[in-house]
Structure 1
Amino acid sequence: MKKKLARTMVAAALAAVTVSGPMLAMRAQAQVGGIVHDPRNFSQNILTAARTLEQINNQIKQLQNQATSLLNEARNLQSLPVSTLGELQAQVDQTRQLLSEAEGIAYDVTDIRKGFEQRYKGGALTGSAAEMVANAEARWKDSVGAFEDAMKVQAGIVSNMGGTRTSISTIVGASQSATGALQAAQAGNQLLAIQSQQISDLAAVMSAQGRAEMLGAARAAAAEAEGRERFRRFRKGN
C-alpha cells in the first residue's frame, strides 16, 4: 500500500510540472523587461493606426482634387491671346465710307424724295425744253454715278476678303490651341463677328447694286414719260 501511494504522489507531481511548464513559458514570453505585452491591445492599436492613415490619405486626395479644380477654373477664365476686332471694325468702316460717298441720290429717304421730285416726275417732265434736257442729263448722271458707286463697293469688299481670310486663319489657329472655356467662347464669338462682317458686306453690295438698278429703271421710266410729253407738244404744235 505504501509503494502504491508513493507512486501515485510522484505521478501527480509530474503531471503538475508538465501542465505548469507551458504556462510558465507563456508568461515568460509575455513579460519582457518587466513590460506585459497584451495581444488584443496591440491589434486594436494597429487597426486605429490604419484607419488614421486612411483618413489622412483621403484628406490628401481631397486637397489634390481641390487644387485641380482651382487650376481648371483659372484655365477656363484665361482670355484668348489674339483678337481680330480692330481689323473687322476697319473693314466695316471702309464699306460704310464707300456707301457714304454715293453721288447724286444717296442712301437717305429725304434725299431720295427730293431727287425724284426734281428730276424724275412731276414738273421735271413737263417743264420747258431746256429744263427737260437738264433733267434728263441729271438723271443720266445719277445712273452712271450709281453704277460707279456699286463697283466701288464691290471692289472694296473684294479687297476685304484678304483681311477676312487672315482673320479667320488667326482665330481658327487660336481656337485649336484654346485651353479653357473662356478662350473657346471668345474664339467662337470672333468667328461669328467675322461672319456678321461678311453678311454686312454682302448687304452693302446688294444695296449698291439695287440702287443702281432702281435708278436705271427710274431713268427709263422718266425718259418714256418725257418722250410722251415731247410727242404731245409736237402734235399740238402741228
Structure 2
Amino acid sequence: MNNWKSHVLLAALISGSALAMGGATVPAAAQIGGIVHDPRNYAQNILTAARTLEQINNQIAMLQNQATSLMNEARNLQALPVSMLQDLQGQVDRTRQLLGEAQRVAFDVGEIQQAFDSRYKGGAIAAPHAAMVANAEARWNDSVGAFQDAMKVQAGIVTNMGATRQQVGILVGASQSSTGALQAAQAGNQLLALQTQQLTDLAAVMAAQGRAQMLEAARRAAAEAEGRERFRRFRKAD
C-alpha cells in the first residue's frame, strides 16, 4: 500500500514539474538509452493505477462488511439448542393426575351436585336414623379424603420444585450464552412457560385446599342441621 502511494506522489511531482516548466526547455518525451520516456504519460498511468487500486480496496471492504452482516444474520436465525417444553408438560400432567385422583367428591360440577344432594342437604338431613348415620359417616369420609388429596397435591408440587430449580438454571444459562436474537427470544419464551407451569401448580394447590375446606365446612353445616333434626324428632317423640 505504501509503495503505490509513493508512486502516486512521484507521479504528481513529475506531472507538476512538467506543467511548471511549460515544456519550454524540457521536451514532453525524452529518449534515454534508446527508450522513449514520457513523464506526463507515466504520471497519468500511475494515477490511473492508483485509482483502480483504491476502487478494488473499497470493493473488498464492502464485501467484508456484507460477509459480516450475513454472519450476524445467521447467528440471529440459530435456534436455541435447549428445550424444556417436554419436561414442563410432564410436570403439568403429573399435577393434573393428582387432581384427577380426588377421592369421594371429584372436581366435576355434576358429581359435586350429586354428592351434595345425596349427603349434605334436603332428604339426606331428614332421612331415617340408619340413613342419617350413614350419611354422616360419608360426609366425614369426604372431608378426610379431601384433606388427604390436598396434601398429595402439595407433595407433588414440592417434588416439582426441585426440577423447576434445575430448569431455571439451564434456561438462564442458555439465555446468557445465546448467540443471536432468536436464541435469546426462545430462552425468554421457555422461562415464561416455566413461570406458567408454576402458576398452574399454585392454582392446583389452592383448588385442592379450597375443596378440602369447603367440604369440611359443608360437613359441619350438615352436622348442625342433622343435630336440629334429631332434636326435633326427640321432642316429637316426647
- TM-score, L = length of structure 1: 0.85
SS across alignment from 1:60:
helix
Equivalents in 2 of 1:141, 1:44: separation in Å? 107
Q: For residue 176 of structure 2, what is the aligned residue in structure 1?
A: 176
Once the 2 structures are TM-superposed, how far is the Cα of residue 39 of structure 1 from its aligned partner?
3.2
Letter in 1 for 2:136: A
How far, CA to CA, are the matches of 2:50 and 2:34 in structure 1?
A: 28
CA distance in 2, matches of 1:66, 1:185: 25
Give the letter for the 1:176 counterpart: Q
- 1:236 and 2:216 equivalent? no
Larger radius of gyration: 1
1:191 correspondence with 2:185? no
Please give the residue correspondences for 1:85-164 in structure 2 after superposition, counting only pairs within 5 Å.
85-164=85-164
Q: Residue by residue, what CA displacement relative to the aligned partner does 1:36-55 show, whole Å, maximum 9, x if unpaired?
A: 43333333322222221111
**How many percent of aligned residue pairs carry the same amino acid?**
74
Distance 1:193 1:233 in 2: 59
Other structure's SS at 2:102 match:
coil
**Letter in structure 1 aligned against 2:203:** A
The answer to whether residue 83 in structure 2 is matched with residue 80 in structure 1 is no
What letter matches 1:210 in structure 2?
G
Q: In terms of mean alpha carbon deviation, does 169-178 or 28-37 score higher?
A: 28-37
Query: Aligned equivalents of 1:38 and 1:117: distance in 2?
Result: 118
Task: Give 1 or 2: higher helix fraction.
Answer: 1
Summarize the Cα distance change of 1:27–1:62 in structure 2 as closer, same or farther, 3 Å threshold: closer
Q: Which has the higher contact order (CA 8 A, sep 6+)?
A: 1
Q: Which runs of 5+ in 1 are unaligned?
A: 1-21
Q: Which runs of 4+ in 1 moved over 4 A?
A: 33-36
Structure 2 SS opposite 1:31: strand
Q: Once structures 1 and 2 are overlaid, which stretch shifts more, 163-172 or 30-39?
A: 30-39
Deviations 1:137-158 (A, max 9, x none): 1110000000000000000000
1:34: how far off? 5.2
Letter in 2 for 1:180: G
Count residues in correspondence. 215
Q: How far is 1:35 from its partner?
A: 4.9
Cα distance, 1:84–1:28 mapped onto 2, change above 3 Å: closer
Cα distance in 2 between the residues matched to 1:207 and 1:127: 31
- 2:104 is paired with a residue of what secondary structure? coil
Q: For 1:48 and 1:219, locate their aligned partners in 2 and report how far apart those are by CA, in whole Å.
A: 102
Say which SS state the counterpart of residue 104 (structure 1) adopts.
coil
Q: 2:107 aligns to what SS in structure 1?
A: coil
- What SS does structure 1 have at the residue aligned with 2:171? helix
Query: Could you tell me which residue of structure 1 aligns to residue 21 of structure 2?
Result: none
> What CA distance in whole angstroms lies between the structure 2 residues aligned with 1:55 and 1:93?
65
How far 1:71 sits from its partner (Å)?
A: 1.0
Q: Read off the aligned partner of 1:110 and give its amino acid letter.
A: G
Q: Aligned partners of 2:210 and 2:188: how far apart in 1?
A: 33
Q: Could you tell me how far apart the structure 2 residues matched to 1:29 and 1:202 are?
A: 96
Distance in 1 (alpha carbons) for counterparts of 2:124 and 2:100? 26
Instruction: Supply the distance in 2 between the matched residues of 1:27 and 1:219 (Cα, whole angstroms).
Output: 124
1:33 Cα deviation from its structure 2 partner: 4.7
Q: Deviations over 1:88-123 (max 9, x none)?
A: 111111111100000111100011111111111110
Amino acid at match of 1:81: P
Deviations 1:170-209 (A, max 9, x none): 1112222111111111111111111111111000000000
